[in-house]
Amino acid sequence: MRFYLVPLDDSVSQSLVPPHVVKHLSHKWLIPEPLLNHKDKLNIPLVRLSDLPPDKLEFPSLNTTFQINEEVENMIKGRRLLLDEVIATIPLDVIYDHICNGYIRYQSAINRKPKLTCVRCGNDDPFLFGEISCARCVDKCAYCRACIQMGKVTECSPLLTWHGEESAESRNHPLGWEGELSPAQDKASEALVTHVMSSYLMERKFLIWAVCGAGKTEMLFEAIQSGLAKGDSVLIATPRTDVVLELLPRMVMAFPNTVVRAFHGGVKPEERYAQAELVIATTHQLLRFYDHFPLAIIDEVDAFPFSYDKKLQYAVECARSKQSLTVYVTATPSDELKRRVNSGELAHVKVPRRYHGFDLPVPKRVWVGDWRKKLEKNVLPMKVINWIQRHVNAKKQVFLFVAKISLMATIEEVLKSKLDTVVESVHASDPDRREKVSRFRAGEMNVLVTTTILERGVTIKGVQVGVLGAEDRIFTESALVQIAGRVGRSADEHDGDVIFFHYGNTNAIVRAVRHIEAMNDQT
Ligand SMILES: [Zn+2]
Ligand SMILES: [Zn+2]
């Protein structure tokens, strides 16, 4: 959309502008192109927001006598939405009324200076922008490819934000969870609650470094409850849809009187803009929220490679309130987080014990020679076959992690020919992925060959884990620690095998083993 840039210093222009705006502003005012029919009479320039310097945009103060439209408030409050997605349900003149009365402001969704940047997702990679000749702009119009699945960010669809009065009311949010925290969980929960209860006078960060199987969700309950009781909106953000889907029922159960909603790619359009007190969202869905959460919890912040990580960080930075507490929860903090912990810059609590109190199984390293060469002749190292056979005989299930999808079919075939048991394989783009995992969970297969997609989030009682080709670059320290974390998660099956079958030790292998030993040494 383009806007008429109306000067406010003559009576003709002022006649086009509502009195509240004229009263508060002195220079120029923007009127959306479709709302003005006077263009023949007036010689007013048409502009896009991206053509104007951002600091040139001025908005009137709040008119508290203005009758707000509740539908508009419910949609935009706490969010930053494209004008295009708002006018799909709300007429432009209704939005304009709210702008004139100080309740809605707009900003350009794309900045051209100092470099081309998408304001919604933070993308500034020139290769991730496209350009079309746009009928609305009557000009060339840039759009962002990085966040296009959330609706197209263009130069002619500004972003809208809500600026009404804050009405945070504190009310009761009883906890429906009646379990008991382990001593380690309790310590972490208490530390977190203390941080939540201290005032949010400035922006603060806190890290919960909890081993796989520590029971991190339960540790968060009291802190979430404290935030909600203050009237705060609480956010749990995670890069993975799987995690969102797993957390939703647990949070609904834990907070029976609270409005809990999950936002992920599969949410129905009519629920996309609903309000909630406790929000669980993926990175992409988070891009629709703005300046809204005094308490933001980021789960599995390290779950994806760096670029993805950066995107999640940007999304959280935009969605959290200016004065807020951001909590990172992870078993494998990035080097950057560890550096900030060690320098004392980042407040943190470590949870080195699993909730059941037993040690983490320490991975064993087994050298298997040039296994890739063997595999070319459809042979797997005997050490691998024998290890799997032993567990199959003992009625144990086995995950065999491998680095590449291209190797999986051969490995699966060789195992099927050597073992008298049910073997299958799974990878990220496998259409039957969920179904296979649930059959494995139900005990309908014994051996599952998998890529790193199952490195986290999967809890299977009594599972044994092998990594074939642990020397591959894809198996970073954190990937190996997460993989090892699949074993021994339940109290009555707290031990088990983690075997790194390798053709040469790597730093990542050594550091992963040390990482786990160090956690076991702490009490
Ligand atoms: Zn973008
Ligand atoms: Zn355009």
In this structure, the answer to whether residues 321 and 370 fall within a common structural domain is no
Give residue-wise pLDDT tens across range 118-156: 999 999 999 999 999 999 888 899 999 999 989 999 999
In this structure, the answer to whether residues 374 and 422 fall within a common structural domain is yes
In whole angstroms, what is the distance from residue 465 CA to residue 496 CA?
Answer: 8
Give residue-wise pLDDT tens across range 219-257: 999 999 999 998 999 999 988 787 888 899 999 999 999
Ligand nearest to C-alpha 109: 1
The domain spanning residue 495 has which CATH number? 3.40.50.300
Ligand nearest to C-alpha 133: 2
How many independent structural domains does the chain possess?
3
Ligand 1 centroid to Cα of residue 383, in Å, is: 49
Split at pLDDT 50, 70, 90, the class of 58 is confident
In this structure, the answer to whether residues 136 and 253 fall within a common structural domain is no
Ligand 1 centroid to Cα of residue 318, in Å, is: 13
Which of 302, 326, 351 delimits the end of a domain? 351
**In the 8-state DSSP scheme, what is residue 36?**
-
Give residue-wise pLDDT tens across range 405-418: 999 999 999 999 99
In this structure, the answer to whether residues 329 and 411 fall within a common structural domain is no
Q: Is 441 domain-assigned?
A: yes
In whole angstroms, what is the distance from residue 166 CA to residue 152 CA?
Answer: 30
Q: Is 39 domain-assigned?
A: yes
Ligand 1 centroid to Cα of residue 287, in Å, is: 9
In whole angstroms, what is the distance from residue 502 CA to residue 370 CA?
Answer: 9
Ligand 2 centroid to Cα of residue 50, in Å, is: 10
Report the interhelical angle of 507-521 vs 477-484 (nearest 10°): 50
Residue 393 has pLDDT above 90, yes or no: yes
- Taking the CA of residue 216 as centre, how many other CA atoms within 13 Å lie in the half-sphere pointing to its CB? 24
Q: Is 340 domain-assigned?
A: yes
Q: Is 170 domain-assigned?
A: no
Ligand 1 centroid to Cα of residue 77, in Å, is: 21
Q: Is 95 domain-assigned?
A: yes
Residue 296 has pLDDT above 80, yes or no: yes
Ligand 1 centroid to Cα of residue 463, in Å, is: 41
In whole angstroms, what is the distance from residue 100 CA to residue 396 CA?
Answer: 67
Residue 381 has pLDDT above 80, yes or no: yes
Mean pLDDT calculated for residue range 279-290: 93
Q: Is 115 domain-assigned?
A: yes
Residue 39 has pLDDT above 70, yes or no: no
Q: Which domain holds residue 233?
A: 183-351
Ligand nearest to C-alpha 145: 1
In this structure, the answer to whether residues 337 and 473 fall within a common structural domain is no
Share of the chain above pLDDT 70, in %: 97
In this structure, the answer to whether residues 49 and 75 fall within a common structural domain is yes
Q: Is 463 domain-assigned?
A: yes
Residue 176 has pLDDT above 90, yes or no: yes
In this predicted structure, what is the pLDDT of residue 36?
A: 85
Q: Judging by DSSP bridges, how do beta strands 159-162 and 104-107 pair with one another?
A: antiparallel
Ligand 2 centroid to Cα of residue 312, in Å, is: 27
Average pLDDT along the chain: 90
Ligand nearest to C-alpha 154: 2
In this predicted structure, what is the pLDDT of residue 152?
A: 94
In this structure, the answer to whether residues 282 and 403 fall within a common structural domain is no
Ligand nearest to C-alpha 137: 2
Ligand 2 centroid to Cα of residue 133, in Å, is: 7
Mean pLDDT calculated for residue range 275-289: 93
In this structure, the answer to whether residues 232 and 270 fall within a common structural domain is yes
In this structure, the answer to whether residues 346 and 414 fall within a common structural domain is no
Give Dmax over CA atoms of the chain in angstroms. Answer: 91
In this structure, the answer to whether residues 299 and 399 fall within a common structural domain is no
Name residues whose C-beta falls within 8 Å of residue 275's C-beta, 6 or more positions apart in sequence.
74, 77, 78, 259
In whole angstroms, what is the distance from residue 175 CA to residue 225 CA?
Answer: 7
Ligand 2 centroid to Cα of residue 2, in Å, is: 8
In this structure, the answer to whether residues 214 and 321 fall within a common structural domain is yes
pTM for this model (two decimals): 0.87
Give residue-wise pLDDT tens across range 475-495: 999 899 999 999 999 888 899
Which of 304, 320, 351 delimits the end of a domain? 351
Single-letter amino acid code for the residue at 14? Q
In this structure, the answer to whether residues 223 and 87 fall within a common structural domain is no
The two structure tokens encoding residue 155: 């130069």
In this predicted structure, what is the pLDDT of residue 305?
A: 52
Ligand 1 centroid to Cα of residue 130, in Å, is: 11
Q: Is 114 domain-assigned?
A: yes
Split at pLDDT 50, 70, 90, the class of 171 is confident
Phi/psi at 122 (nearest 5 deg)?
85, 0
In this predicted structure, what is the pLDDT of residue 28?
A: 87
Ligand 1 centroid to Cα of residue 110, in Å, is: 8
Ligand 1 centroid to Cα of residue 122, in Å, is: 6
Ligand 1 centroid to Cα of residue 32, in Å, is: 23
Ligand nearest to C-alpha 149: 1
Which of 313, 330, 351 delimits the end of a domain? 351
Ligand nearest to C-alpha 318: 1
